[in-house]
Amino acid sequence: MAVYVLDHYYLAITVLVTTAYQLLGFAIAWTFQFDKITDFTGGSNFFLLALLTLLIGNEFHVRNIVASVLVMVWATRIAGFLLYRVMKTGSDNRFDEIRSNFFKFLGFWIGQILWVWTVSLPLTILNSPAISDTSRSGSNPAFGTSRDIAGIVLWALGWLIETVSDAQKFRYKMDMNMPKDRPIQVGLWKWSRHPPYFGEIMCWWGIWILCLSPSTNGTLSSSSKSAQYGSIVSPLFTLILLMFGSGVPTAEKPQAKKFFLMSHGDNAKQEYVHAWSNYKDYLQKTSILIPVPPAVYKPLPRFIKKTLLLDFPMYKFDERRAMEESISNLSESNL
């Protein structure tokens, strides 16, 4: 029989555990002023919640075990990779501007609490007594529904895309012989400018679909069904965060600026004179998120790219303005 802790959906206990875990990570990172545990604390928190809710739920149905294991596998991979990467590189420059400001740094960790708790909701609710305690009002339809299969397949594809593309980019950046005047265009990066983000989005849609069968094929109460359907905020939050928050926006313009300055900046070198034209060619033939073969993507109408394929105007680097600023800075330096 399931253990009831604070509420029937395990919302409160997971909030408390996540908050305590993240604030502990913040205290360590702030005290020692380093980045080595920041991403690891976020990723490992998913593992902690998956294991905790499965064990205290005490209902070891096949679906619960499979969903929990998939989340723990995803969490182990992402936390381990990010820890390994920061240990190899020594620091994470994404945090340079906020690490020395207490409130900004704390704000980041509070955002991480919201991210972990919200994205974990499908599994948290599935493992809760309200859904899985069949001795009361829960339901456990036989494992193997179309949603179970679809969820696992979607998660597996997403996990492979995320894992492979992360490894490809890390190897590329570590290889000193790779050309500096061109963006990465190896493996999955030929088809997408941000394949790890696409893979992560697929993973969490897969988890939500996998967790949904008690509502679609079982006999849950209307409130429990609402809770499961409502946990769609997990994949939606992931999509919105990566498309409009800490994902694509924080990567697109900074990378464009880097290649622009390599060709047109004050310290531009002759060997990098083609860097900006190389980058613009890369934009023309490489989908921003959804993997598409370059031969298919390049001739597509701009309207399709800017709408259905999600390459929104907000991601566009203002080349004209950057050129004017570069000329202005050069003129001022000659005064």
HEC secondary structure over 234-257 = HHHHHHHHHHHCCCHHHHHHHHHH
CB contact at 8 A, 189 and 195: yes
CB contact at 8 A, 236 and 152: no
Q: Is 287 helix (H, G, I), strand (E, B) or coil?
A: strand
Q: Give the H/E segment covering residue 225.
A: helix 222-230
CB contact at 8 A, 153 and 79: no
How far is it, in rounded angstroms, from Cα 15 to Cα 117? 6
Tokens of 181: 């005047």
**78: nearest Cα among 109, 34, 44:** 44
Q: How many residues are listed for the chain in this entry?
A: 335
Query: Could you list the pLDDT tens digit for every one of the 335 residues in the chain?
Result: 677 878 899 999 999 999 999 999 988 888 877 777 878 899 999 999 999 999 998 889 999 999 999 999 999 999 999 888 877 766 666 665 666 777 887 888 899 999 999 999 999 999 999 999 888 888 999 999 999 999 999 999 999 999 999 999 999 988 878 888 899 999 999 999 999 999 999 999 999 999 999 999 988 999 999 999 999 999 999 999 999 998 899 899 889 999 998 888 778 788 888 899 999 999 999 999 999 999 999 999 999 999 999 999 999 988 888 776 665 554 444 44
- How far CA 53 is from CA of 17, 38, 205, 330, in Å, comes to 11, 23, 20, 60
Q: pTM for the complete prediction? A: 0.91
